[in-house]
Amino acid sequence: MTDRGAAPDPLSVTGPQGESLTVFAQPSGVIGWHYEASALPEGIPVAIAGALWNTLGRLAFRFGWSVVVSDQNGRRIGRRRFPSKRAALGFMPHMAEDLASSGTQALRDRPNLDHSDGLEPHQVARLDQGIAALERDGQAHGWVATTVEPFWGLGHPTRTQTCVWLLFTWSDGTREPIEEDYPPYALVPNILDGQFNDDQRGPFTVRWLTASERDAAWAARGIHP
């Protein structure tokens, strides 16, 4: 499971003008206030209402996660949503790097991408029923199987975009739920660059499999209907 455990530690960033910013991840759809049931006469119904709101919010955002940026006063000034905790964690260092170089302008700029989805045709081809070994010290500790699916969204109503499905399996027998990565992509760029960092298992080198090695791995660990 990729959403288990406490929220990760926030990242502190100093912008180019000396501004202090904080980047942190949290579950999407959760409100930020809490009441002790004993503090007020209406504490119990308020606490129940808050719990119900959080549950409905999590459902509305399909149990996704958000990367949030706050200023030195704790005011939230930016947010980007992701389908999973892993995707949000993967994006946090990139957001921190952009804030350090561009300040809050990074929250307004869209990524400068060569392709409308950020993927070149040869990359889409690699991700379409592709599988890679996740290696450390020359040994495979896991595998990631990928496939692509076009989708339509309100953000780009005149064309379809590309969603990448990812299935992580591990040598200890763990099979994680399929993850969906959407533009501007949080997991896919690093995997295509040959690196992947799991928040619990650590860093790995990504080696894409080909020919008969790919076929055997896909049969055992691929994304099948």
pLDDT tens, position by position, 31-59 = 554 444 445 555 566 555 555 555 554 45
Contacts of 215 (CB under 8 A, 6+ apart): none
How many whole angstroms from its chain centre is CA 55? Answer: 21
pTM, entire model: 0.54
pLDDT value of residue 167: 96
pLDDT value of residue 36: 46
Note every long-range contact of 67-70, with CB atoms under 8 Å and residues 24 or more positions apart, other chains counting.
67/23, 67/24, 67/25, 67/91, 67/92, 67/95, 68/23, 68/24, 68/25, 68/26, 69/21, 69/22, 69/23, 69/95, 69/99, 69/104, 69/107, 70/21, 70/22, 70/24
Averaged pLDDT, groups of 10, the chain, 225 residues long: 59 92 83 48 57 54 74 84 76 86 74 56 90 96 93 65 93 94 90 93 96 94 88
